[in-house]
Structure 1
Amino acid sequence: MNKPLVAALSALALAGLGAAPAVAAPLTATPAAHSGSPAPKAKTPAVTVNFAGTVSLSNCSGSVVRLPGSADSDPALVLTNGHCLETGFPDPGEVITGQSSSRAFGLLNANGRKTATLRANQVVYSTMTDTDITIYRLTTTYAQIKSSYGISALTLNDTHPTAGAAIKVVSGYWKKTYSCNIDGFVYRLKEGDWTWKDSVRYTSSCNTIGGTSGSPVIDTSTGKVVAVNNTGNEDGERCTVDNPCEVDENGDVTVHQGTNYAEETYGIPACFTTGNKLNLGAADCTLPKP
């Protein structure tokens, strides 16, 4: 997995490497049409994606998120990885709900500058089973954050992401954005004792590193969050920690060294009800239950 920062820096120090993040792929300009040729069909302009609404944690990245049905008066939520939970990695099969928390988050503006410290009062949901997510409830509402800092939450998309879609992985910890596309989806992604379902595989330019764990994956055509960044195969090993492997429907295993992954988030909204309250018993909720 994209290790929390302390573990990542320790590994880099042992390897004798620097901790500077890799450079994201540059944007490619659209070539002009030849004289006398029909003008190219206009493309839907991409949404401007910046750091507004992302957060930095002590060891990871994350974002202030709202559900399609969230009200401005609801307590705001922060999304990061399950393996970024301050009390340690949830065990395989473990689901944590309603755990007290006072964790702090650095709220970033569009330019990546910290504008405020937000604080949680609860771990609403956390697991590393089937997916890799932690959702915190803040002591402030969306309206209060908007009024005080002029920053809106990112919205979780409630439909499955699309292969080939242009995406950006926005790291609040490193204040760095990675640009790439969704290369495809992985039936099962296995890393150590954990297994995740229907994971997102990036194309090569999203070469995320430790500290990017929990970053929102944003579809640039909608500006909505479609996944949360969580892991990558670092050394080419098979199904070990920091070296996830892909397992298909037939049980065949493949390894893609240097490839990075994320966990889809479209199933989260179905597990919440009015007031941003968790309801794992909802008919359409497929998140693992305690």
Structure 2
Amino acid sequence: MRKPLVGAFCTVLLLGAGATPAMATGLPTGTAEETASAHHSAHAHVHAIDFAGTVALSNCSGSLVRMPDSKPGDPGLVLSNGHCLETGFPAPGEVIVDQPSTRTFSLLDAGAKSVGTLKADKVAYSTMTDTDITLYELNSTYDQIQSSYGIKPLTLSDQHPVAGKAITVVSGYWKQTYSCKIDGFVHQLKEGDWTWKDSVRYTPECETIGGTSGSPVVDDQSGQVVAVNNTGNEDGQQCTVNNPCEVDENGKVTVHQGTNYAEETYIIPACIGTGNKLDLNAEGCTLPKPAGQ
């Protein structure tokens, strides 16, 4: 996981069991604005995808999202990583639901300008088991957000992403985008004590860094979110924190230094029912459940 960032100069904080894109390390020095500018200059691309609907957290990136069946009057949802949770990394096997939260998010417009602050009512769902996601429920509806700020949510695709498709990773924290393609899918991605299933592997052009954790991965063709950015192998180590390894169906372990990854999000809509409420018992829902459920 790429380590969440703390403070104006992006100090890295590693809380025992987790981090930002795998918990990205190797963070650049200088302010977010300086680093983003330098990174953009080195990797200039023309992107069809803009920043509208993305958010910046205190230490990560995220996005205002809706399900395919969400209604304008439903409470808004913000998607980020499990390892970006404000109370620390969920332990392996831990699933958090309906946890009170007052976390705030800076909402961005198409040009990456902050147009307002969104506030959570609760953590609807968070885990680092099988996937790496946190879903916050807001105290405002999509209608209210659009009326106040002119911003619509991004839509989560309910279809499995496709290898070879062009994608854009949109970081609200850095106000930076990264364009590449889906290189393929990983049976199991292991990092430290965590294991994620059916992860997305990027082609080399997506050189994501710390603070991009939780960024929506947008399919360039559909404009829908197909994954959430979460980690990368920084030092070539095998299965350690900030150095995830790939494990295939036969148990073979491979390491790809410099390769970055995301967790698929198509499984989320089946678990969100009427009124944008979490329903882990809904038909087709495969998200991990809390112990005892």
TM over 0.5: yes
Aligned equivalent of 1:9? 11
- Match of 1:120, SS state, is strand
Q: In the aligned structure 1, how far is the partner of 2:113 from the partner of 2:27?
A: 30
Query: Mapping of 1:84-163 within 5 angstroms?
Result: 84-163=84-163
Of 26, 29, 33, the residue aligned with 1:18 is 29
Aligned-residue offset at 1:2:
1.4
Aligned-residue offset at 1:285:
0.2
Aligned-residue offset at 1:6:
2.8
Q: In the aligned structure 2, how far is the partner of 1:88 from the partner of 1:5?
A: 13
Structure 1's 16 and 254: CA in aligned 2 closer, same or farther, altered over 3 A? closer
Contact 1:25 1:180 in 2 (8 A): no
Please identify the structure whose Cα radius of gyration is greater.
Answer: 1
Contact 2:6 2:58 in 1 (8 A): no
Q: In the aligned structure 2, how far is the partner of 1:16 from the partner of 1:244?
A: 17
- Unaligned 5+ segments in structure 1 are 29-45
Q: In the aligned structure 2, how far is the partner of 1:177 from the partner of 1:9?
A: 21
Q: In the aligned structure 1, how far is the partner of 2:64 from the partner of 2:130?
A: 22
Structure 1's 16 and 153: CA in aligned 2 closer, same or farther, altered over 3 A? closer
Query: Mapping of 1:170-249 within 5 angstroms?
Result: 170-249=170-249
Aligned-residue offset at 1:269:
0.2
- Match of 2:266, SS state, is coil
Structure 1's 59 and 190: CA in aligned 2 closer, same or farther, altered over 3 A? same
- Match of 2:275, SS state, is coil
Q: In the aligned structure 2, how far is the partner of 1:6 from the partner of 1:231?
A: 17
- Match of 2:106, SS state, is strand
Q: TM-score if structure 2 supplies the norm length?
A: 0.89
Q: In the aligned structure 2, how far is the partner of 1:27 from the partner of 1:213?
A: 20
Q: How many residues in Structure 1 have an aligned counterpart in Structure 2?
A: 270
Aligned-residue offset at 1:15:
7.2
- 1:221 alignment partner AA: Q
- Match of 2:49, SS state, is coil
Q: Deviations over 1:217-263 (max 9, x none)?
A: 00000000000000000000000000000000000000000000000
Q: In the aligned structure 1, how far is the partner of 2:27 from the partner of 2:109?
A: 34
Query: Mapping of 1:1-80 within 5 angstroms?
Result: 1-6=1-6, 9-10=11-12, 18-19=29-30, 20-21=35-36, 22-23=39-40, 25-27=43-45, 48-80=48-80
Q: In the aligned structure 2, how far is the partner of 1:16 from the partner of 1:49?
A: 25
- Match of 1:275, SS state, is helix
Q: In the aligned structure 2, how far is the partner of 1:288 from the partner of 1:58?
A: 27
Cα RMSD after superposing both structures = 1.8
Q: TM-score if structure 1 supplies the norm length?
A: 0.90
Contact 2:61 2:173 in 1 (8 A): yes
- 2:223 alignment partner AA: G
Aligned-residue offset at 1:5:
1.2
- 2:11 alignment partner AA: L
- Unaligned 5+ segments in structure 2 are 14-24
- 2:131 alignment partner AA: T
Aligned-residue offset at 1:10:
3.8
Q: In the aligned structure 2, how far is the partner of 1:261 from the partner of 1:276?
A: 27
